[in-house]
Amino acid sequence: MSTGHAHFSPLARFFHWLMAPLVVAMLFIGVGMVATVSQARLTLIAIHRPLGIAILLLVALRFLWRLTHRAPPLPADIPAWQRFAALASHWVLYALLFAMPLIGWAMLSAGGYPVHLFTGFDLPPIVAQDPHTYALLRSAHTWLAMLLFVTFLAHLAAAMFHGLIRRDGVFSSMARGKRS
C-alpha cells in the first residue's frame, strides 16, 4: 500500500467523519418523517431541526478550514472526467450542506412555523411569511435533498472505487492518517 501520498489533516478528517453520518441520518430522517403517521414523526422532526442547524455550523467551520488548507492532490494518472467529477461533486456537496439547512430554516419561516430547536428555544424567522416563498422553498428542500442523496451515493461509490479497485491512496487519505 502506498504511504507516499498526502493525507487529509486530522481536523479535516474529523469534520468529514463527524458530518458524514449526521448528513446521511438527516436524509433518512427527512424522508421518513414526512411519510409516516406514527409517533416517530414527532421524534424525527424534533431531531431534524437542531441537527440541521448543527450541520450548518459544522459545514461553516469546515469550509473555512478547507479554504485555508489545500486538499491532497488526486493521483496524476486519474482520467480527466473523473478529476472533473471529483471536483464538481465536492463543490455540489459543500453547496448543498450550506443550502439545505438554510432552505429548511427559511421554508419554516415563510410558512409561519416556529423554528423550534430545543426546549425553550426557537430561532427567529429569516424570511417573511409568504405562501409563494414557502411553496418554492418547500419544493426546493425536497428536490435538493434528492440531489444531495444521489451525490452522496456517487461519493460513496467513488470512495469505494478508489479503495477497492484503484487502490491509489485517495480513500486512505481521508480514512486515516499517514503511517510512517
Partner 1 sequence: MSERPFSFTELVRHPGRYPGALAGLCAIGAVVLATGGAFVYVAGFAAPGRLTAQHIVNRFEGYGGVHAGFRRNHAKGVCVAGYFEGSGNATSISRAELFEHVRTPVIGRFAIPGPNPVAPDGSTPVRSFALEFQLPNHAQWRTGMNNTPVFAVNTPQAFYEQLAAGKPDPATGKPDPAKLKAFFAAHPETQPFQQWVKAHPPSSSFANAAYYSINAFKAIDAQGNTAYVRWAMVPDAAYEAAKPSGNAPDYLSQELSSRLAQGPLRWHLILTVAQAGDVTDDATRAWPADREQIDAGTLTLEHDSAQSGGDCRDINYDPTILPDGLAPSSDPLLAARSAAYSVSYNRRLHEEAGMPAGQISSIEGHQ
Contacting positions for partner 1 (CB under 8 A): 1-2, 27-28, 31-32, 34-42, 75, 77-79, 111-116, 119-125, 129, 131-132, 134-136, 138-139, 142-143, 149, 153, 156-157, 160-161, 164-169
In DSSP terms, 151 is beta-bridged to none
Q: Which residues contact 16 (CB under 8 A, 6 or more apart)?
A: 8, 174
Kind plus residue range of the DSSP H or E element containing 118: strand 115-118
In the complex, the smallest distance separating the C-beta of residue 139 from partner 1, rounded to whole angstroms, is 5
DSSP 64-91: HHHHHSPPPPPPTTS-HHHHHHHHHHHH
Neighbour-count burial of 107, counting CB atoms closer than 10 A to its CB (0-12 exposed, 13-18 middle, 19+ buried): buried
In the complex, the smallest distance separating the C-beta of residue 21 from partner 1, rounded to whole angstroms, is 13
Distance separating alpha carbons of residues 28 and 153, to the nearest angstrom: 13
In the complex, the smallest distance separating the C-beta of residue 111 from partner 1, rounded to whole angstroms, is 7
Closer residue to partner 1, CB minimum distance, 136 or 147: 136
In the complex, the smallest distance separating the C-beta of residue 92 from partner 1, rounded to whole angstroms, is 17
DSSP letter (8 states) at residue 161: I
Phi–psi pair at 117, nearest 5 degrees: -100, -55
Closer residue to partner 1, CB minimum distance, 9 or 133: 133
Closer residue to partner 1, CB minimum distance, 8 or 105: 105
Closer residue to partner 1, CB minimum distance, 81 or 180: 81
Closer residue to partner 1, CB minimum distance, 35 or 67: 35
In the complex, the smallest distance separating the C-beta of residue 67 from partner 1, rounded to whole angstroms, is 30
In the complex, the smallest distance separating the C-beta of residue 25 from partner 1, rounded to whole angstroms, is 11
Kind plus residue range of the DSSP H or E element containing 93: helix 80-110
